[in-house]
Amino acid sequence: MKVSEARAAVGGLSKTSKMPCKSWGISAKECKTGSKLAKVEGTVCHGCYALKAHMFGRSGKGPRQTARLDAIFTTGWVDAMVTAINGDEFFRWFDSGDIQSDEHLANIVRVAIATPSTKHWLPTKEYLMIARFMRKHGSFPKNLVVRVSSPNIDQAPIKHYQHTSTVHTGKPFGRECIAYKQTTSAKIVAHAGIHASKILAINTTKETPPWPYAGKTTYMRKQFLLSQTTSKKWESRISSLA
């Protein structure tokens, strides 16, 4: 399958303004947890920019996002995504939307395993899906960072997850992401992983605090974080995903 054919098969890829890479997403209306949080004032999903863009028809992504949603249930989705990514250095999952099911998450992991030279970032609020995966498999592959976001503004990081993020209006929990201060033309210098030595360590471990997003505006875009997990036993668990 050609790259162009693979991208058509998965509904196409996106290129968001502050990301140094391509991304993939579905309508925010399909978020299992986020669609509920969007109705609750004080949550990070209330006033969601992706829902607003969909509602007012600004994004122009409706048919493409529908095609992506339909494609994830096809048998060739994993192979098509691997070809569509085409060995890119970085890849972001969900510039809009979130994980749809345990099997969907497992398929994303399969894509990451099949693209070891690509660093994947997956921000999510599907806490139970991540917890179930971790209980079964112990960890994610080293090139896939799954970053769990706290549901409420000014809420502390959620415990028991290695990589987390928060939205704050006052003092941040950990290090503040600078993406909301950036112009599109300045995006490259601020993306960790490209200039990681100048951004400091961004691994979320017991020694390193989580890296939050600044809640200055509901249209704020999130920083592309490329810290990596470590899993010495991962290879022995791959077979269980087959």
Reported as a single tens digit per residue, the pLDDT across 86-97 is 999 999 999 889
Of 14-28, 148-162, 213-227, least confident by mean pLDDT is 213-227
Mean pLDDT for the stretch of residues 160-189: 70
When pLDDT is cut at 50, 70 and 90, the band that residue 203 belongs to is very low
pLDDT for the residue 71: 93
In this model, does residue 135 exceed pLDDT 60? yes
Of 84, 104, 81, nearest in space to 30 by CA: 104
Which residues, listed in sequence order, are joined to residue 145 by a DSSP beta bridge?
A: 121
Q: Over the stretch 18-65, which tens digit does the pLDDT of each residue have?
A: 778 999 999 889 999 999 999 999 998 987 866 765 443 444 567 788
Closest CA to 147 of 100, 204, 102, 103: 204
The arithmetic mean of pLDDT across residues 164-181, rounded, is 78
Average pLDDT, the chain: 75
> Is residue 164 over pLDDT 90?
no
